[in-house]
Amino acid sequence: MAETTGRATMRDVAALAGVSIKTVSRVVNGEPGVAVAVRERVQDAVQRLDYRHHLAASNLRRGSSRTGLVGALLQDVSNSFSAALLRSLEDALRDRGTAILSASLDEEPERERSLVHDLVTRRVDALVLMPSTDRQDYLSSDVRAGMPVVFVDREPRGVAADSVTIDNVGGARMGTEHLLAQGHRRVACLTDLAEIYTAASRRKGFDEAYAARGIRPHERLVVTGLRGPGAAEAAVSHLLELDQPPTAIFAGRNDLAQGALRALHRSDLETSVALVGFDDFPLADLVNPPLTVIRQDVGRIGRLTAELLLDRLDGDTSAPRRVVVEPTLVARGSGEIAPAP
């Protein structure tokens, strides 16, 4: 009893209650066909021994191959977008008693591969993936083996799977055009590594907006490879010191917009240089100036993702679906600053 190691098993309970293991199993699983007196005796023993059901053993025997586990590999669970997504998945899966294994990829391909491997080894019932790799061919055998995968934020390449994404090119074009329409011509563009699907798409939208007006962006104002807010802040500080500094900035992700804003504040230029960010975030309406953003409806994306996931878990084996959500422009002030004459 004072043993710190080892929990009671059904065998122990059976011994204490003076019944067979199978009867304990019946009681624990609430199966009918157990005499009331016996049931009570077993329940008593369960209590006395602090018996806890062993889900893994149970699943193994049932061969149901259902572990009630779902993996969620996101960019960074502490980023508001990933965090909100995680939360809506959680809400959608709660009722099913399905638990979520979450992890952050930080845009590192190797980490994605190793974490996927780990999750497969744990026999998750399904996977939600915001990939950091270019291609996900490595996933096909697992998908073939019956593990549903739903991609979020980025489309799958090299593997057939569902996805929920937004129109990144369109969103970026809209954001950039919003600035161009106000007369800005020196618009800076901040994005992450060109290998990253969303970063490349948003950069493309930026270019397209210029092209649509028959003009070209200033190359020196286009900065890629920005890994986080710190890098964006440094890059913008540098841009502001150019002979021909930007009069407006288009930031390709919420953390880059935040870094940019911080740089503007440091130079006291937050009310002179326009700024449009991609991705809304909780306090965008309260910063100074209130931030104009291209918003993707995270709640909606989360719900759609969960919906696809649940369908697949319920046995839907139809062809992969691609769901694309249209982003919207939310004008709050920072994006409506006119260029200096």
Partner DNA sequence: GTCCAGCCTGACAACGATGTCACCTTCACC
Partner DNA sequence: GGTGAAGGTGACATCGTTGTCAGGCTGGAC
- List residues near DNA by CB under 7 A: 6, 9-11, 18-23, 25-26, 28-29, 32-35, 37-39, 51-54, 57-58, 60-63
16 touches 39 (CB < 8 A): no
**CA distance to 191, 254, 295, 319, 340, per residue, from 282 (Å):** 21, 10, 11, 36, 30
Sign of CA dihedral 196, 197, 198, 201: positive
157 binds, among a copy of itself, DNA, none (CB under 5 to 8 A by kind): none
Q: Which is nearer to DNA, 15 or 234 (CB)?
A: 15
Q: Which is nearer to DNA, 61 or 216 (CB)?
A: 61
Q: How far is the CB of 105 from a copy of itself (least distance, A)?
A: 11
Q: In the set 54, 66, 238, 322, which binds a copy of itself (CB under 8 A)?
A: 54
Q: In the set 150, 235, 261, 301, which binds a copy of itself (CB under 8 A)?
A: 261
192 touches 252 (CB < 8 A): yes
- Is 76 an interacting residue with respect to a copy of itself (CB under 8 A)? yes
40 touches 48 (CB < 8 A): no
324 binds, among DNA, a copy of itself, none (CB under 5 to 8 A by kind): none
Give the Cα separation of 336 and 275 in Å (integer).
Answer: 8
Give the Cα separation of 121 and 124 in Å (integer).
Answer: 8
- Is 29 an interacting residue with respect to a copy of itself (CB under 8 A)? no
DSSP codes, 82-104: HHHHHHHHHHHHHTTT-EEEEEE
Chain centroid to Cα 28, Å, comes to 37
244 binds, among DNA, a copy of itself, none (CB under 5 to 8 A by kind): none
122 binds, among a copy of itself, DNA, none (CB under 5 to 8 A by kind): a copy of itself
Q: How far is the CB of 102 from a copy of itself (least distance, A)?
A: 5
202 touches 172 (CB < 8 A): yes
**Nearest residue to 92 (alpha-carbon basis) of 304, 329, 319:** 304
Q: Which is nearer to a copy of itself, 5 or 32 (CB)?
A: 5
30 binds, among a copy of itself, DNA, none (CB under 5 to 8 A by kind): none
Q: In the set 29, 32, 121, 216, which binds a copy of itself (CB under 8 A)?
A: 121
Q: In the set 181, 265, 272, 331, which binds a copy of itself (CB under 8 A)?
A: 265
Q: How far is the CB of 45 from DNA (least distance, A)?
A: 12
Give the Cα separation of 278 and 198 in Å (integer).
Answer: 11
Q: How far is the CB of 63 from DNA (least distance, A)?
A: 5
